[in-house]
Structure 1
Amino acid sequence: MKKTVLITGTSTGFGRSAALLFAREGWNVIATMRSPDAGDELARLDNVLVTRLDVQDRGSIEQALAAGLARFGRIDALVNNAGFGLFGVFESLSREKLQEQFDVNVFGVMDVTRAVLPHFRKQRSGLVINISSGAGVFALPMSSAYCASKFALEGFSEALSYELASQNIVVKIVEPGGVLSTDFGKRSGAEASRAAPPEDYAKFLAGAETVFAGLRAGRLATSEEVAEVIFRAATDGTDQLRYVATKDIEPLVKARRETSEPEYIAFMRSRFMFGR
């Protein structure tokens, strides 16, 4: 019997690339997105169901799940991919935008997962893959809201993995960094452009832009390459929890996870504490 995966946020980026890859590898795919009209290419595939799911609309979550089960009969894996980044100095971010950041990146993941778990428990098997970020491992300036949401996702996912092991359900985390071929940066840039920081941050912002321009220039991965890591996580048959998906973040992940706290903080401050 073919396996079935439900993926959120498949209109662009990692989600779209993952949906195409899973379908090409013979899986049934429930490709969900806020606006199904953006899924015409996916909808032309026989083993793909494109349906609406907005992680901020719990009714749409239940409807997408019901549509997927009606079409394919079961769900074997869930990929929580939908998300966005809110960037800018903390003082310039409104409470409303901060709430939206958590509604999408954290509570949306929780709501979709909660909806799928009874089905997984009934069949005594299932896999949840949550798409985190390097920003869920190490913190960067100008990304306090995004880092906070991804740090929360990491903690939620790890804790959940211990609970769900008792139900023969596996939880995994995929951690990508900068990627060339995705619209994620477009929405993130639009969100940041709405927030005008206090003038006192001008020197800091100039230094930050220089550093981040260098990071952007070093991006090596594509959304297709991240999709391959997601697919490997779904099919490698292990209970490995975390997968680093792009090479650009490996030095920072290594610094965070393999050095002492004083060494790590000194390393990060040497790179990111400018404008003093």
Structure 2
Amino acid sequence: MELAGKVAVVTGAASGIGRAIASALAARGCHLGLADLNEAGLAETAASLGSGVRISLHRLDVADRDAVAAFPAIVTATHGQVDILVNNAGVALGGRFEQVSEADFDWLIGINFHGVVAVTRAFLPHLQQRSEAQIVNLSNIFGIIAPPGQAAYAASKFAVRGFSEALRNELAMTDSPVGVTVVHPGGIKTAIANNARVPAHVDPEEERRQRTHFAAVLKMPPQQAGEIIVRGLAARRPRVLAGTDAKIVALIERLMPVRYWQLLTRLGLA
């Protein structure tokens, strides 16, 4: 897929992987509609991209159904078309299932999964009008394995994976011009772990250990992940594993789909 001259919408573009994806797309001449709740972060992303492509910035809560439904008309009024949709917006939530309140669980699912579905539903008719188009949905390595303490997050990322694969197969059956890429990043050094919501009654020492653990395993620079993802998008790959750790873990899960966690623990990868 030739990216120069295309128009891409990227959610969660104010920082981290979203900003890196925007940068990689802009470097290839792709015009951008960037969305996030963090308007200051969006402005920083836009400033980092330089000139040469058309950029519009949009404050958007992907969990707000009305705002999402109105969003495509706003983007097309500026750009005239949409060729690529990157569903990157997401949040994290620590704690074991019994520690996580129903409200917090629903909050995470509303953003990480229902947000992906709602934004996809809103933009799909516009993408269908293009000669070629691509949807890129960010799952996670926790959409392949499900570690303890990540019940809500893993549930959302497994859901993104299942939704993406079913949608891809449905679109292929109708000879749609729209392809679907699902991305499973490994340990990407972003602020998502530090910004994770933690239940109030989680032991502070347990919380400290978890944050220390994630600080140690989140190693790949977002810029590198963004390049991997955009190369996968351009190749219209159905699945992108971003990082050697993601590839190793995915292989272990394939070989040991039930007992992978025991092996990962013994290998010191958990």
Q: 2: CA distance between counterparts of 1:214 and 1:109?
A: 28
1:264 paired to 2:263:
no
CA distance, structure 2, for counterparts of residue 266 and residue 52 of structure 1 = 43
Separation in 1, partners of 2:182, 2:188:
17
Specify the SS of the correspondent of 2:8: strand
Structure 2: unaligned runs, 5 residues or longer: none
SS of structure 2 residue aligned to 1:26: coil
Taking structure 1 as the reference length, what is the TM-score of the superposition? 0.85
2:229 aligns with: 230
Task: Give how far 1:127 is off.
Answer: 0.6
Alignment partner of 2:134: what SS? strand
Aligned equivalent of 1:183: 191
Q: Which residue of 2 aligns with 1:19?
A: 22
CA deviations 1:201-229 (Å, max 9, x no partner) are: x9xx59x948x856642443111111112
**Residue of structure 1 aligned with 2:164, choices 157, 162, 167:** 157
Structure-1 separation of matches of 2:214 and 2:58: 36
Calculate the aligned-residue CA RMSD, in Å. 2.6
Structure in which a larger fraction of residues adopt helix = 1
Distance 1:264 1:50, change over 3 A: same
Which residue of the partner structure matches residue 200 of structure 2?
Answer: 195
Change (3 A) 1:41 1:269: closer
- Superposed CA deviations along residues 167-224 of structure 1, whole A, max 9, x for unmatched, are 22100111112222x2212211xx12x332489xx9xx59x948x8566424431111
String of CA shifts for 1:73-115, please: whole Å, max 9, x gaps. Answer: 1111100000011111111100000001110010000000000
**Matched-pair contact (CA < 8 Å) for 1:91–1:197:** no
TM-score (norm: length of structure 2): 0.86
1:68 aligns with 2:64: no
Cα separation, 1, equivalents of 2:229 and 2:244: 15
In 2, distance between residues paired with 1:149 and 1:131? 11
Paired residues in the alignment total 260
Which runs of no fewer than 5 residues in structure 1 stay unpaired? none
Aligned to 1:40: 43
Question: Per-residue displacement from partner, 1:121-151 (whole Å, max 9, x unpaired)?
Answer: 2335321000110000001111111011111
Letter matched to residue 30 of structure 1: G
The offset of 1:31, in angstroms, is 0.6
Structure of larger gyration radius: 1
